[in-house]
Amino acid sequence: MRRRILTGTFAAACLLIPFQAHAAAPAAPAAESADAVWDKCEAALDSPHASHTNPDVINVHADLKGCKQKMPEYSISVTLFKEGTQVAHNTGSGKNKFKARVVANWPPPKGECHAYSAKATFTITAGGKAHTTTLTNQSQGKICIKK
């Protein structure tokens, strides 16, 4: 049996914003539905940040996690913006997964500092019903790439 340590705190929401994130427009809690198990899935979009593996690249991660059962089908679409202009986009999809992450990244010209934002749309399809939510987030100030 799968262990359950994340109980109760998710209430009726189908998604949670990571505590460190500053989501500009968190979606309203999803209405209770018969497909209640998917209420435990968490959609999360982190703050655009410099990549740990390549400091010349800006990353943003879009996650589906926290599910108590495997998602029959999922899709994630994530877009990275530099001061409102799209600079990167990525998608991912799959079937029968507990969790999944997709990244959008972009290598700015070296020596430049910019503010970034991101938007991601998450869909879990179960029992013929699509559960979709969209999150936005922004960088914590400007991110500078060294020359």
**Which is closer to another protein, CB of 101 or CB of 140?**
101
From the list 25-33, 62-70, 114-122, 128-136, the region that binds another protein by CB under 8 A is: 62-70
* Neighbour tally for 93: CB within 10 Å: 14
What is the C-alpha to C-alpha distance for residues 138 and 31, in angstroms, rounded to an integer? 27
First and final CA of the chain: distance in angstroms? 52
Which residue of 13, 17, 58, 71 would you call a contact of another protein, by CB under 8 A? 71
| Contact mark string toward another protein, 76..105, x via CB under 8 A | ----------------xxxxxxxxxxxx-x
Scan for tokens 């559960």, then name that residue: 131
Q: Please, what is the minimum distance in Å from the beta carbon of residue 97 to another protein?
A: 3
Handedness of CA 4, 33, 123, 13 (dihedral sign): negative
Q: How far is Cα of residue 91 from the mean position of the Cα atoms in its chain?
A: 11
146 binds another protein (CB under 8 A): no
Which residue of 2, 11, 84, 109 would you call a contact of another protein, by CB under 8 A? 2
Q: Which residues pair with 54 in a beta bridge?
A: none
Task: List residues near another protein by CB under 8 A.
Answer: 2-6, 51-54, 59, 61, 65-66, 68, 70-71, 92-103, 105
